[in-house]
Amino acid sequence: MEYPELKPVLERILEVVPAQQIILFGSRAKGQARPDSDYDLLVVVPEEYITLENYKALYRCLGQVRRSFGVDLILTTPEQLERARKAWMPLYSEAQHNGQIVYAG
C-alpha cells in the first residue's frame, strides 16, 4: 500500500460501510501535502448507505485515528461518479483526474 498510514482508516471505514472503492484526492494524492494537510477520501458505496447515520458512525469509528491526522470523508455512489464523468463537477473531477485508488473491493 502506498499510504500505509491509511490502513487503520480503511479498516474502520469497511467496518461501517461496504465500500466498493475508496479514492484519495486533494493535496495528498497530488504529492502537494503540507505537514498539516488532511486526507480527503471519496468512498464509493451503494446508494442506500449514504445516510446521516452512516456519516455519524464513520466519524465515531474514526475518532482516535482522526485525532492523529485529519481525515475528511465524502460518500458517493457509482452512479454519481458516472454522472460526474459526463458533466463537470469540481470535487468529483478532482478525485477522478488526480485521485489515487487506495481500496478497491
* Domain boundaries along the sequence of the chain: 5-104
Dump pLDDT digits (tens) for 87-105: 777 787 788 888 999 999 8
CATH of 5-104, one of 3.40.50.300, 3.30.460.10, 3.40.50.450, 3.30.260.10: 3.30.460.10
Asked whether residue 65 carries a pLDDT value surpassing 90, the answer given is no
- Please, which pLDDT band fits residue 68 given cuts at 50, 70 and 90? confident
pLDDT tens profile 4-59: 899 999 999 999 999 999 999 999 999 898 888 899 999 999 999 999 999 999 98
- The mean per-residue pLDDT over the stretch 76-85 comes to 89
Burial of 50 (0-12, 13-18, 19+ CB in 10 A): middle
